[in-house]
Amino acid sequence: MNLNTITEVKRPASADQITQWRAGYAWLAGGTWLYSEPQVLTDTLIDLDALLWPALERSPAGLDIAATCRIAELYRFSGPAEWRAAPLIRECCNALLASFKIWNAATVGGNICMSLPAGPMISLTVALEATYTLWPRDASPRDVRAVDFVTGNHGNVLRPGELLRGIHLPAAALSKRFAFRRASLTQLGRSAALVIGTRSTAADDLLITITAATPRPIQLRFEHAPSAMELRHALDERIQADGYFNDVHGSAAYKRHLTTYFAEQIRAELAQPGAGA
Ligand SMILES: Cc1cc2nc3c(=O)[nH]c(=O)nc-3n(C[C@H](O)[C@H](O)[C@H](O)COP(=O)(O)OP(=O)(O)OC[C@H]3O[C@@H](n4cnc5c(N)ncnc54)[C@H](O)[C@@H]3O)c2cc1C
């Protein structure tokens, strides 16, 4: 849609050119959400496109994803064989309810900064133990763990004017075995629950990441694989019955049921040697 409150679009070649921040400014990434509804409080868009950050950089340390990397570009990435969890990238890209236009325009950073419960780039990066690099306007860059970034439905730790610069997925997490489960009320609908489990190849640890069913990502870390009962207790203790996200994409009770069901499936799957490889 046309945003008739916008009076200026800035196209800086470097983020440093935006030294002052005021109410009414908004970073513009793919624009798929910004242009989807009126932005009555916004008068200036600052387009990230001209920053020309390299979308994907692979190194022995892991994968660095620019916030401006398109979801379609990330989808095409294929990692080395030892990154057993790399197929999670496609699973999570496919979890974005998206038309052709959204798929090709939406960015990884825009999805994370929207901070919706069903943000699949949040699911992916939290499950893979990512670190986000944030660029404040008036201070040094800071790193935050992906699991600490989203604070609630459409809420996060970004301060006014702060820019998400990039996402680092560590090679150690990319090398883990994984299991993925997702459900939606409609075939191409927004996720009601998206649960990912990862496990080191040489240990019997388990990391369960719950997204979409809760307002913010919830992660359960076990040093040793839990029994079904231990997992159930840990889930109930960590997420109270009213801690699930109730919306048109599923009631809280339904999402609780899915979460419990999927978490147990994942536990059982990853307990089998060689599964999720
Ligand atoms: C029909 C439809 C269906 C959708 N379905 C889903 C869905 O299933 N799940 C979901 O999560 N979202 C969904 N969305 C919302 C949105 O399209 C996606 O979240 C998308 O990934 C946003 O990315 P973008 O690059 O287009 O962000 P933009 O629209 O450009 O920006 C989104 C917000 O993030 C801010 N922002 C963007 N990049 C940065 C950055 N690097 N640093 C700081 N702030 C930044 C912007 O200022 C803005 O507030 C849907 C939207 C539509 C219209």
Q: Ligand 1 center to residue 138 CA distance, Å?
A: 25
Residue bearing the CA closest to ligand 1, atom 37:
110
The helix or strand, by DSSP H or E, that contains position 66, with its residue range, turns out to be strand 62-66
**Structure confidence at residue 247 (pLDDT):** 94
Contact between 113 and 158 (Cβ < 8 Å): yes
Residue bearing the CA closest to ligand 1, atom 51:
33
Residue bearing the CA closest to ligand 1, atom 46:
27
Residues with CB under 6 A from ligand 1: 26-34, 36, 48, 67, 96-97, 102, 105-107, 109-111, 113-114, 116, 118-119, 158, 163-164, 190
**Structure confidence at residue 2 (pLDDT):** 85
Residue type, 92: C
Contact between 256 and 212 (Cβ < 8 Å): no
Angle at 225 between CA 222 and CA 229, to 5 degrees: 95
Residue bearing the CA closest to ligand 1, atom 32:
110
**Structure confidence at residue 98 (pLDDT):** 74
Give mean pLDDT in consecutive 10-residue pieces for the chain, a chain of 277 residues: 92 95 97 95 97 98 98 96 97 86 93 97 98 96 98 97 98 98 90 98 96 98 97 97 93 98 98 75
* Ligand 1 binding pocket mutation candidate from 25, 27, 108, 165 (most atoms within 8 A of CB): 27
**Structure confidence at residue 277 (pLDDT):** 58
Residue type, 188: L
pTM above 0.75, yes or no: yes
Contacts of 148 (CB under 8 A, 6+ apart): 157
